[in-house]
Structures are given as C-alpha cells and as structure tokens.
A and B are shown apart, each in its own frame.
Chain A
Amino acid sequence: MPAGDRALAWHQRAYRSLLVLYPPSFRREWGPAMVQLFGDQLRHPRRPGRAVGVRVWLRTLDDLLSSVPRQQWEAFMEQTSTINRAVIVTSVVAIAAALGTGLAVVTAGIGPAIPLAIVLAVVVVIYRHQLRRFVTRRQGLWYRLLLAGIGLAAGVWLAGMAYWSTHETTSALFLIVGNTVFLLGVLLVLAGTAMGLGQLWRRTRQHERHT
C-alpha cells in the first residue's frame, strides 16, 4: 500500500472512530457515506495544497461540534414518545418541587412554600389524571413510588405548617420525625424517577435494536 493510501486509511479510521458520538441509528444509516465523503475531501481537495489534511480536520471537528448535539437531540425526540417525554419533564418537576418544599420546611420559609405547594399539587394532578391511563401494571412500581414520595413530602409540609401555626417553639421530636419522613419522601421520589428513567432507557435500547 503506497504511503498516501496508508495515510488516507489512517485518517478515515480516525474519523470512523469519532462517529461513535452520533446516535447508533444515524451512524448505521449514514456512517459509511460520511466516511466516504471525508475520504473524498482528502483524495480530491477543492483547494490543493500542503495543509489539506489540517483544513479537512478543522472543518470536520467544527462540523462534529454542531451536528452531534443536533443528531442526538433529534434521535431522542424520535425514540421517545410524547408520553415518555411527559414522564421525564414531570419527574424533573416533581424532584425540584419535593426538594424545594423540603428546603421550605427546614428553613420554615413561608414565602417559597406556597408556590412550591402549588407546583406539587399540579404534579399530583397530572400524574393522577393524565399519565395514569398510560401506565401499565408492569410499569406501575416506579409510578407508585413517585406518587408515594410526593404524597409523603406534601404531607410533612402540611403537618409542619399546621404545627407551626399553633406552636411557638418546635420540639426536637417533631423535627426528627418530620425530617426523617420528608427524607423518606424525597428518596421515594428519586427511586421512582430512577426506575422510570431506567425503564425508558431499556425501551429505547430495544427500539434501537429493532430498527
């Protein structure tokens, strides 16, 4: 193999290894054509010169920076159904609401607690009335954990509000029990979300294998 061909093969191997950054479905469909086009740029440069390789690599790296995130995003949007996206968004909101409410309980800040309670209520309503009909029995555990966690965190917050409205000081026992139950609620929310996302990830992998 002549030195020029060897160098070209090396460049193409290096570029092919970078294609791992793209989503598998895109790589399978367009990878060979992309490697060929990359090779064409080196074999038949439009502006011949000594720094052809450098120019092609600079353009390629610039292209990777812009096209990889776009293709990953498009693949995510194609592979996840509307309901899965709703689960992700709601889970993120649920975690943020639970953590924010916890902060409000610990610091006894009434101000942030009210909007957070509203967010929490909205999340519960969405889960109960919108997502429930899409959730099968097999998927149900993560969903029940998430709901239980939100319920616990909301219950602790309401109890705390009721307690502080009638007592001037907070007993150590109330703080320990309240914080423990709240922490349990947060852990349930996190566990439920992790299981839900794990299920989504497995389903996406199965989808990729079949396409």
Chain B
Amino acid sequence: MAAADNREPSSFQPLPTTALYILLALTEGEKHGYALLGDVERLSDGAVKVGAGTLYGSIKRMLGDGLIQEAAERPDPRLDDQRRRYYRLTGLGEQVADAELQRLATLLQRTGARVAGRPRLGEA
C-alpha cells in the first residue's frame, strides 16, 4: 500500500470514533474481530457499541489505508478457532493513533480548564 504509506498521519484526522478505538485496542497486540468488539466497548466505557457490519466496515477501510494489517500467523488450533482472522497495527497505524491522541490531549488542555470551571446545570 505505497500510496497509503506516503500519507501524513495528520491527514487522517479527525479519526472516526470506531477507528480510533480499534487502533487503541491493537496497541495491546494482535486481536481478532470479537476481541476488538469487546475492547471498543471496554475502552469507551460502553458508550460505543458496534456490530459486525460497522466493525468489519472499519477494518476494511483501515486495511485499505494501511493502518492495520492481517496477521499471517494463526494461534494454536487447540487454543483458538482457526477460522478467526487476526489484525495488528502497522507503523503508520501507530503514528496515526499517536497523532490522534496528541490532538485530543491538546484539545483537552485548551478547553479542559474552561469546562471544569463552568457551573453545571442546576448549580447556582
């Protein structure tokens, strides 16, 4: 995916929510679809719940963009289902995840104090 490799990480921003959570889940190591489904839910505290169509739609786009790749090695068949497809981060995927987290951190830095100092609804 030479064209994707030439892209700057910042050109992917802002990253779609599901794609960000998938990248973050894969920073922990290779994972299959069902593990990613659970990790997206866990990392978002249950706020993001995706189904098979959304998950594999995102995976398809991310494979095309060169952010992730399918792992060639399969786990021991005694430990896991051989039909499962495993995915892992590429170098570009890591850079994109870092850049997106940096962007969110900057946003939080700029607006966090303002949001924290604001009176909540119902408070005087």
Segment from B4-12, B21-29, B47-55, B89-97 that makes contact with A:
B47-55
Residue of B nearest to A61 (CB): B51
A41 and B34 contacting across the interface, CB-CB below 8 Å: yes
| Bound Cα distance from A13 to B54, whole angstroms | 20
A residues apposed to B, CB below 8 Å: 22, 26, 29-30, 32-34, 36-38, 40-41, 44, 46, 59-60, 62-64, 66-68, 70-71, 74
A59 with B33, Cβ < 8 A, contacts A29-B60, A33-B85, A70-B57 known: no
A33 and B56 contacting across the interface, CB-CB below 8 Å: yes
Return A57 CB to nearest CB of chain B, in Å: 10
Q: How many residues of B contact A (CB 8 A)?
A: 20
Across the interface, which residues of A come within 8 angstroms of B60, CB to CB? Answer: 26, 29-30
The main secondary structure of chain B at its interface with chain A is helix
Across the interface, which residues of B come within 8 angstroms of A44, CB to CB? Answer: 34
Q: Is B78 an interface residue (CB 8 A)?
A: no
Given contacts A59-B49, A59-B51, A67-B57, 19 further A-B contacts (CB under 8 A): A30-B59, A30-B60, A33-B33, A34-B52, A34-B56, A36-B33, A37-B34, A44-B34, A46-B38, A60-B52, A63-B54, A64-B51, A66-B54, A67-B51, A67-B53, A67-B54, A70-B57, A71-B57, A74-B57
| Bound Cα distance from A22 to B83, whole angstroms | 21
| Bound Cα distance from A128 to B41, whole angstroms | 54
A68 and B53 contacting across the interface, CB-CB below 8 Å: yes
Across the interface, which residues of B come within 8 angstroms of A74, CB to CB? Answer: 57
Return B117 CB to nearest CB of chain A, in Å: 36
Across the interface, which residues of B come within 8 angstroms of A59, CB to CB? Answer: 49, 51
Residue of A nearest to B38 (CB): A46
- Residues 50-101 (chain B) with a chain A CB within 8 angstroms: 50-57, 59-60, 81, 83-85
A36 with B51, Cβ < 8 A, contacts A29-B60, A67-B57, A71-B57 known: no
**Can you give 18 contacting A-B residue pairs, CB < 8 Å?**
A30-B59, A33-B33, A34-B52, A34-B56, A36-B33, A36-B84, A37-B52, A37-B55, A40-B33, A40-B34, A41-B34, A41-B37, A60-B51, A62-B51, A63-B50, A63-B52, A63-B53, A67-B53
| Bound Cα distance from A17 to B69, whole angstroms | 29
